[in-house]
Amino acid sequence: MSKVKESIKVGVIGATGYTGSELLRLLLQHANVQLSMVTSRSDAGVSIADYWPNLRGRCDLTFVLPDVDRLADNCDLVYFATPHAVSMHMMRELMNRDVRVIDLSADFRLRDIPLWEKWYGVEHACPEVVAQAVYGLPEVNRDKIRDAKLLACAGCYPTAVQLGLIPLLEQSLIDPQDLIANVASGVSGAGRQAKVANLFAELSDNFKAYGVSGHRHLPEIVQGLDDVSPEKVNLTFVPHLLPIIRGIHATLYCKPKDFSIDFQSVFEQRYKNEPFVDVLPVGVYPETRSVKGTNVCRISVQPVEDSGVLVILVVEDNLTKGAAGQAVQAMNIMYDWDETLGLNDIALMP
């Protein structure tokens, strides 16, 4: 497969949600990308600039119905920015046409198909393709991503938790059986849908947990942590809803095997060559606003020796590093471009 290209034609399947909007924003600013086709079943014929007013003057395409032949004829790479259990119905045909695919949904993230079917409540439409998917977390799978034909982009919660715990589990520095992740997300993580629980009056001035007994991102997180840990992990994962639009804040608790280790140095060394992971100085804690609209993940390491606990704090933008930005980062790797191409935005503050 020839990878090195000066530019490629890209299609996006399903860009009427928040992740899709973020993906369009990034792709339209990318020097090596020609956005050639954007699909929507519900809004075919609608101008993208009318649907997303921030794209006025930047995109003259209209939404069209998804068609495999048309996508294959006009695209080198296709993104899926669709809800779960959608991409699997088109994936076999697209891959048979030698189109490279980056899927932002969860359809191909879990290798255990019965486990996926349990959490997502439907039968998988093309289980034979799952083994071909490369999990899209660049800080772990960069070499595999380069040659990927199908990339399953990592989820937002899983990205934050894995980047916070992987440096410790890789070196077996913590007890893998006693991991806790309290993670809070902005409401855009719930998607662009009309639900009473998502109304401004319901969300504003409020903070709540959900999915405490089980969340569908849990098996994805555990799969990723197990892949790097010499021992099986046991994780308690509690997601929360923040009264903000975008951003994730993860507070991770673990028990070190030896408190004399310089954990700050462990993280600094692990991520020293990672363009989108920023390990903060000792005593500086990350804020969600510091990564808004960027592909940056910021991490702080805080030992609490009196309690025997090591606390890891992680922030990211759930729509960017947690979804669309990470997908663009993976695309850059797949085509041997500068990994930061199109992803150098500075966070919006205030």
Q: What are phi and psi of 315, to 5 degrees?
A: -130, 150
And the tokens for 222?
A: 């555990």
CA nearest to 330, candidates 110, 151, 77: 151
Token look-up 């040659």 returns: 147
Active-site residue (options: 59, 75, 153, 156): 156
HEC states along the chain?
CCCCCCCEEEEEECCCCHHHHHHHHHHCCCCCEEEEEEECCCCCCCEHHHHCHHHCCCCCCECECCCHHHHHHHCCEEEECCCCCCHHHCHHHHHHCCCEEEECCCCCCCCCHHHHHHHHCCCCCCHHHHCCEEEECHHHHHHHHHCCCEEEECCHHHHHHHHHHHHHHHCCCECCCCEEEEEEECHHHHCCCCCHHHCHHHHCCCCEECCCCCCCCHHHHHHHHHHHCCCCCCEEEEEEECCCCCCEEEEEEECECCCCCCHHHHHHHHCCCCCCEEECCCCCCCCHHHHCCCCCEEEEEEEEHHHCEEEEEEEECCCHHHHHHHHHHHHHHHCCCCCCCCCCCCCCCC
Distance CA 182, CA 152 (A): 24
Token look-up 């855009």 returns: 188
Q: Examine the residue annotation and report whether 156 is marked as an active-site residue of this protein.
A: yes
Active site residues: 156
